[in-house]
Amino acid sequence: MGEEGTVMDSAAQASGGLRARKRAAARSEIERTAVAMVLERGYDNVTVDMICAACMVSQRTFFNYFGSKEGVFLGLPPAEMRDAVARKFLPDHGTPVVLSLAAAVVSALVAGQPDPELAGRRMKAIMASPELFSKQNEWMADHEKQLTDLVVERYTAAGLRRSEPDLGAEAGMVVGLALGVVRVVLQQNHLEHDDVWPDAGIMRRAGVLLGRIFSS
């Protein structure tokens, strides 16, 4: 490839990077606007039309970014969520599996929220709305099959040879327990810190509590 081709490739990469930054900025602006409106007026009193009008974007753009009204609050879509959890969970053989999965899910939620202040306000909006809180629980349930597969993958990589039905049932139980931990962690963080997104310390505390539960 000649010098001209190299220059064209660099220009294309720069253009792609600029588009990605513009997209991220537009997405962040929509998120901030939606969260502010819901905190001020309540979830039921805010429509997609209202959010789009405030941000001067089309409904098509909104749904391309978030898929649904609740999507602007709930976090990563399933495929991205699975990949984010897998990166932290699969190599983490030194942590008990329930805590490890719970920590990976919380980490993935944080990864989907690059702005901690916005993430905290989003969580405040979710906790203030029974409908949004229910949607968040449904959203977590949608990930259960993928997370169960990840637990089985981790067991298999560790050389655990069990009969397939028992292995699947155990993996499903791990996921149920881990998601329960995540829900409690997020609820407790909201009660104690209102609109501050949880940090690593809250998972260390969850680990202590889990140790007490299993030891008893």
Note if the pTM is more than 0.95. Answer: no
pLDDT in tens, 166-184: 888 889 999 999 888 888 8
User: What is the average per-residue pLDDT within 70-79?
Assistant: 77
Length reported for the chain: 216
pLDDT in tens, 185-200: 777 776 666 556 666 5
pLDDT in tens, 87-99: 989 998 888 899 8
